[in-house]
Amino acid sequence: MNKRRISIEDIARRAGVSHSTVSRALRDNALISPKVREEIKRLAQEMSYVPNAIAQSLQNKRTNTIGVVVTSIADPFFAEVVEGIEKIARPAGLSVLLSASHRNFEQEMAAIDTFHRRRVDGILVADSRISKQHIKQLTQIAVPTVLINSQTEDQSEILHSVAIDDRLGAKLATEHLISLGHTAIGYLGVGDRSRSNQQRLEGYQMALTEAGIPPNTDWVSISDEYDTRTSDVNTGKNMLSKLLSAEVTGIFCYNDMVAVGALLACQELGILVPRNLSLVGFDGIALGSYVTPALTTVSQPMLEIGGYAMQMLLDLLEEKTVENRVLSPFLVERGSSAALLTI
């Protein structure tokens, strides 16, 4: 916004009309006579006029901008979700402001605050552990907001959401292992994602119970690191041994990255997957099909999740009423899981 750019005033002067006529002509206001309208448009073109969206926003009280917060841009899961968001936002004429929170409360609040100052029309928050503070903050902004896979029970009425059914997904994964003949089945979770981790744990336990398999606490291993620098892959690598000593033959992992970590650890330990150990992940990120063996996983439709959330925001912006969505994940069977070897 450096130098002086040409404005409707400049065009008006050249056209010998008032600036409001120019404004109207440019916006195809029906009142303007066709001849002047065309002439003005021609002039605008010729002078390479570019409307100032800032001035328009100030006047219209609408910025045509939405804010998106994700924990990490480089995380393949969120990258896909953001891609889905952008695919819907752009054709709708909305620009997206992107911010990463790195699973850090302050950063996330700061990001939302920035969005507030910039007067975004709506906000999308992916995978936050929404706190009371967030609710308060978001309520105050009073702008349509939709939460993606977010961890909150107290859905305030201004917050909407699209989320995956974690419990169902976990159940699918566990039932899959059970159907393959496994009975000693572990869960490898991460401690810093309280709600989703909790729900996946519950789905896992539910599946065991329904199959008449008594749960065993030794089969559950949840990292207690809140260190965001430890990647999920490392979590999987580090936590595997604990489950191995509990002699499980199959493991359901919190997500694909954790499963990849477990897989790498197996390779180091000389454990054959799926011969000696079956592994199931969660998410369905592309990389899961590139590892060897390819990862059996519970897939989330990431692009759709982002797309739905964005569409919901669009509806909200048009004052339509929307309903929260809970999407169902589905099992994708690949090479990392197999029937239990009968000895």
Partner DNA sequence: CTGAAAGCGCTAACAC
Partner DNA sequence: GTGTTAGCGCTTTCAG
130 and 151 Cβ atoms separated by less than 8 Å: yes
Options 14, 23, 97, 317; binder of DNA; rule CB under 7 A: 23
Options 47, 53, 272, 341; binder of its own copies; rule CB under 8 A: 53
Best CA proximity match to 261, nearest among 215, 223, 219: 223
- H-assigned helices in 71-193: 76-89, 105-117, 132-141, 166-179
Tokens 């974690």 correspond to what residue? 166
Q: How far, CA to CA in Å, does 314 sit from each of 35, 100, 318? A: 36, 22, 6
Strands 122-126 vs 159-164: parallel, antiparallel or unpaired: unpaired
> Minimal distance in Å, beta carbon 33 to DNA?
4
Q: Is the dihedral of CA 126, 132, 137, 138 positive or negative?
A: positive
334 and 295 Cβ atoms separated by less than 8 Å: yes
Select the binding partner of residue 23 from its own copies, DNA, none (C-beta < 5 to 8 A, by kind). DNA
Contact region with DNA (CB under 7 A), list: 29-37, 77-85, 95-103, 250-258: 29-37
Per CB under 8 A, 272 contacts its own copies: no
Site for DNA, residues 42 to 61, rule: CB under 7 A: 49, 51-52, 55-56, 58-61
Contact region with DNA (CB under 7 A), list: 25-33, 138-146, 190-198, 287-295: 25-33
Q: Which H or E run includes 294?
A: none
Per CB under 8 A, 73 contacts its own copies: yes
Distance CA 184, CA 148 (A): 33
Between 49 and 219, CB nearer to DNA: 49
Strands 95-100 vs 65-70: parallel, antiparallel or unpaired: parallel
77 and 46 Cβ atoms separated by less than 8 Å: no
Site for its own copies, residues 150 to 189, rule: CB under 8 A: none
Binding mask 222-251 for its own copies (x = CB under 8 A): -----------x------------------
Binding site for its own copies (CB under 8 A): 1-3, 48, 50-55, 57-58, 60-63, 65, 72-76, 79-80, 82-83, 86-87, 90, 95-100, 111, 113-114, 116-121, 140, 142-143, 233, 260, 263-264, 267, 287, 290-292
Binding site for DNA (CB under 7 A): 4-5, 7-9, 16-21, 23-24, 26-27, 31-33, 36-37, 49, 51-52, 55-56, 58-61
